[in-house]
Amino acid sequence: MLDEIPALEVITAIDDPEFEDYVAQLLYSQGWSIIQRELDGYSLVDTLIEREGLRTVLVYTSTIAGFTSELLLHQESMGFTAISLDSVAGNLNPHLIMSAIRARVRSPQTTAATRPAIAKALERTVNKRRVIPVVGSSGSPGRTIFAQAIAEELALSWPVTLIDADFRNRSLTRTFRQGASSSYEFASLDPAVRPSGLPEVGEREISIVDLGVLPPLHDVVNDRRWQAEFLTTVLEESSHLLYICKSNESSISELQEFVNASPPLLRSLPTTFICIAQGGTKNDRQALARFDSLLAGSRKEVIQQRLLQNSFAIPLLTTPSRSKKEIARIALSLL
């Protein structure tokens, strides 16, 4: 999909640093190259002059210091596209932001042949179904609460179904509170019927699937029993994999076995590794150091357990807390 998007280079000129960071991460996750952040309109003019004729997209809010609307009159001659986010400024909603960007994606510097490709690629980015399995180490590392937190965050902008497919430990089914969120659906797959795949959903659906602790990865790919076939089917349909561990020796050791034994099926699947930090003890710090070293060059995040637990205690309509921002940032990177 990302190969269909031309090599657009983006300059941001947004005065709200939190909003700018969110927009930059959103565009980066869609394959756009963020080359520079301008802090005022004066330096912005100099940068655009230097890049005259190059394929440049300017994403801005007009409230940035020194910004002048006269600059926009020269888009066509200078060869850049200006996209205003004034209408969604401060709103951390990826669907609204991408809609505002799509409205201006037909840039003057693109040819008639490339415009349909850009529009098609962006439309697929927003509308395609995504399957995000959540797996991890044994010993309750935090898969259930993390899967719920991600589902709540993504459900602010897309239809989401949270699916319990952990046939060995039905913790998500046991702990799921039907009234906890009206913004996403919940489904629990029954192992007694031996499901062959995930439930059918709409095109824009995001499915967060708790798969629990994976069996030996060799079995997943080669075993013909129904559970192995189910796991293989889900992984083949997946767009991103989440692996959850916690900051102790045994959990990190399981992570190392997972990384060392990953078959090609998983190596080709984008994966984010999450370590739930338990505290500030010496053992925790050693585990986190090992986590960081083991996954050098991989997508990895560390989130404090207390922040993850607190994310359910704060109403969704209040000012975003630190825990909400952390979850929102990680959720955004999965798209």
User: SS3 sequence, 197-249?
Assistant: CCCCCCCCCEEEEEEECCCCHHHHHHCCCHHHHHHHHHHHHCCCEEEEEECCH
Closest CA to 133 of 190, 183, 197, 176: 197
Q: Domain 129-333, what architecture?
A: 3-Layer(aba) Sandwich (3.40)
Residue 125's φ and ψ, nearest 5 degrees, are: -60, -40
User: Do the beta carbons of residue 331 and residue 22 sit within 8 Å?
Assistant: no
pLDDT score recorded for residue 204: 65
Strand ranges for 61-182 from DSSP E: 80-84, 130-136, 160-164
Closest CA to 90 of 199, 12, 14, 10: 14
Q: What is the mean pLDDT of each run of 10 residues along the chain (335 residues)?
A: 53 89 82 84 81 83 82 75 88 82 56 40 53 90 86 84 90 67 81 89 82 71 72 88 93 90 74 88 91 90 74 42 71 78
Cα 137 to Cα 243: distance, rounded to the nearest angstrom: 8
- Helix or strand holding residue 188 (H, E): strand 185-188
User: Do the beta carbons of residue 213 and residue 171 sit within 8 Å?
Assistant: no
pLDDT score recorded for residue 129: 73
Here the tokens at position 35 are: 């080359």
19: left (phi over 0), alpha (psi -120 to 50) or beta: alpha
Here the tokens at position 257 are: 């076995």
Mapped onto helix, strand or coil, the DSSP state of residue 11 is: strand
Residue 292: partners with Cβ closer than 8 Å, 6 or more residues away: 300
Closest CA to 41 of 86, 1, 71: 71
Mapped onto helix, strand or coil, the DSSP state of residue 60 is: strand
Cα 234 to Cα 62, 75, 209, 228, 331: the distances in Å are: 45, 46, 9, 10, 20
Judge whether 2-125 and 129-333 match in fold: yes
Domain range list for the chain: 2-125, 129-333
How does DSSP classify residue 65? Answer: T
Each residue of 292-332: pLDDT tens digit? 999 988 889 888 877 666 555 444 333 345 566 778 778 87
Torsion of CA 43, 47, 49, 55, to 10 degrees: -150
The residue to which tokens 């192992």 are assigned: 191
Longest pairwise C-alpha distance within the chain:
67
Q: Domain 2-125, what architecture?
A: 3-Layer(aba) Sandwich (3.40)
How does DSSP classify residue 32? Answer: -
How many CB atoms sit inside 10 A of residue 208's CB? 28
Residue 147's φ and ψ, nearest 5 degrees, are: -60, -40
The residue to which tokens 């906890």 are assigned: 180
pLDDT score recorded for residue 314: 40
Torsion of CA 46, 47, 52, 56, to 10 degrees: -150
User: Do the beta carbons of residue 159 and residue 173 sit within 8 Å?
Assistant: no
